Homo-oligomer: A and B are copies of this chain.
Amino acid sequence: MTKIPKERLGKYLNLQREFKEERYINLHPIQRGGVLTDAARKALLEFGDGYSTCDWCPPKAARLDAIERPPIAQFMQDLAEFLSMDVARVVTRCREAQFIAFATLGEPGDYVVVDGLAHYSTYIAAELARLKVKEVPHSGHPEFKLDLDAYADKIEEVKRETGKLPAAVLLTHVDYLYGNLNDAAVVGKICKKYEIPFILNAAYTGGVMPIDGKKLDVDILVSSGHKSWAASAPTGILALKEELVDRVLARSKMVGDWSERKFGLKEYALLGCTVMGGPLISLMASFPHVVDRVEHWGEEVEKARYLIEQLERIEGTRQLGVKPKQHTLTHMESEGLYKASQAHKRRGFFLYDELKRRNIVGIQPGLTKHFKLNTYGLTKAKVEHVAKAFLEIAKDQGLTIE
């Protein structure tokens, strides 16, 4: 052990977040759906102590999802039902949920077919499960629209090349780059025909918009509590159809060669218990709000469209991805703001500076030509403030406003 000098410990004594929700309008593309409810804030503190969820762990079930006080077992059922799936587990991250699916459905060397806009976590989840990836293409600039029918071609391609079907198929419901919403039912139908498990990555959709796993023919739905369910990180959702439970939630078969101990209650790909603390409880505490808020998804999309319409008034500025926008995650391209940045002494950072002066944060510092933002959960007044700020900043830089 090394004794860390006291003066080096000072930096940990009062850890504060600069961009508090009550002070700033935060447009950070990955943060809007993870802002806690007041109930979640209280619950997080209530179950802040490590392992505080485990006071009433039933000795004969001895698993997080079996605990009834607090109502974790009940929550797993309600969560599954909410998504029109059969069984749900809360795991540490959406990426872990993807890994669990890949590791249990595939053997090393198998293929998984994914969309060409899948998040990096999908690729490395496959890599950790020792699977190969085959991508379905998109249309490129400016729409970046996925060719969903090409899933069938890619499945055939894998079959031709390897002599067997892919272990699984994954579609990113809404992608992280352009916020395009995909019609999962198209891919669900293809997978059903081939009898390949269909994984829907609902990191940007579950918890903010209505999803019906059954209608979409989804076999495994993964999502992110801290991204879209008003929960603390780290929390992921893994929801399954009954038919896959035996594979994905398989119990441990390990036996100690000397001790002869067995661990047959434990779901081995989850490593047994997962989120045994505050973040799970925050997810549960926000659940009543989430159940309600998904019904107001249309209003959220309206606000995003309003902001895009305003931003597109700026010279040389347009929304990338499919139009009209069907999600609040937005990717803007602005030749105008880029031009302004070239003449500015702060270069690309001027946009960040000017927004921050107006209490708006979350756009990546330095970017002007391409930047992402998310309006989810902001009031109309705040979105109007953002629109006004952008127009003002553009005007100040001598750009034309339509």
Binding site for B on A (CB under 8 A): 1-4, 6, 8-9, 11-19, 21, 26, 28, 30-31, 33-36, 39-55, 59, 69-71, 74-75, 78, 81-84, 92-93, 95-96, 99, 103, 108, 116-117, 120-121, 123-128, 130, 133-137, 210-212, 224-227, 229-235, 252-254, 256-259, 261, 263, 266, 268-269, 271-272, 274-279, 281-282, 284-285, 287-288, 291, 294, 361-362, 364, 366
- Contact call A52/B69, Cβ cutoff below 8 A: no
- Contact call B1/A275, Cβ cutoff below 8 A: no
- Contact call B51/A1, Cβ cutoff below 8 A: no
A-B contact pairs, 11 of them (CB 8 A): A1-B212, A4-B78, A15-B43, A15-B284, A17-B52, A19-B52, A31-B50, A93-B274, A124-B252, A124-B254, A128-B268
- Contact call B51/A233, Cβ cutoff below 8 A: yes
The one of B4, B268, B269 in contact with A82, judged by C-beta atoms closer than 8 angstroms, is B4
A95's nearest neighbour on chain B, judged by CB, is: B271
| Identical copies of this chain, number | 2
Q: In the complex where A15-B70, A31-B51, A116-B258 touch, is A1 in contact with B84 (Cβ < 8 A)?
A: yes
- How many angstroms from the CA of A50 to the CA of B288 in the assembled complex? 17
A269's nearest neighbour on chain B, judged by CB, is: B128
The one of B50, B225, B294 in contact with A227, judged by C-beta atoms closer than 8 angstroms, is B50
- Contact call B39/A48, Cβ cutoff below 8 A: no
Shortest beta-carbon distance, A199 to chain B, in Å? Answer: 15
Q: In the complex where A17-B47, A275-B234 touch, is A116 in contact with B256 (Cβ < 8 A)?
A: yes
A126's nearest neighbour on chain B, judged by CB, is: B254
The one of B2, B82, B133 in contact with A1, judged by C-beta atoms closer than 8 angstroms, is B82
The 10 closest A-B pairs by CB, nearest first: A34-B50, A50-B226, A233-B277, A135-B258, A9-B288, A1-B210, A92-B92, A124-B268, A15-B43, A95-B271
Q: Residues of B contacting A99 with CB < 8 Å? A: 271
Q: In the complex where A44-B44, A55-B28 touch, is A279 in contact with B279 (Cβ < 8 A)?
A: yes
Of the listed residues A74, A99, A116, the one surrounded by the most CB atoms of chain B closer than 10 A to its CB is: A116
Q: In the complex where A53-B233, A277-B232 touch, is A137 in contact with B82 (Cβ < 8 A)?
A: no
Shortest beta-carbon distance, A100 to chain B, in Å? Answer: 9
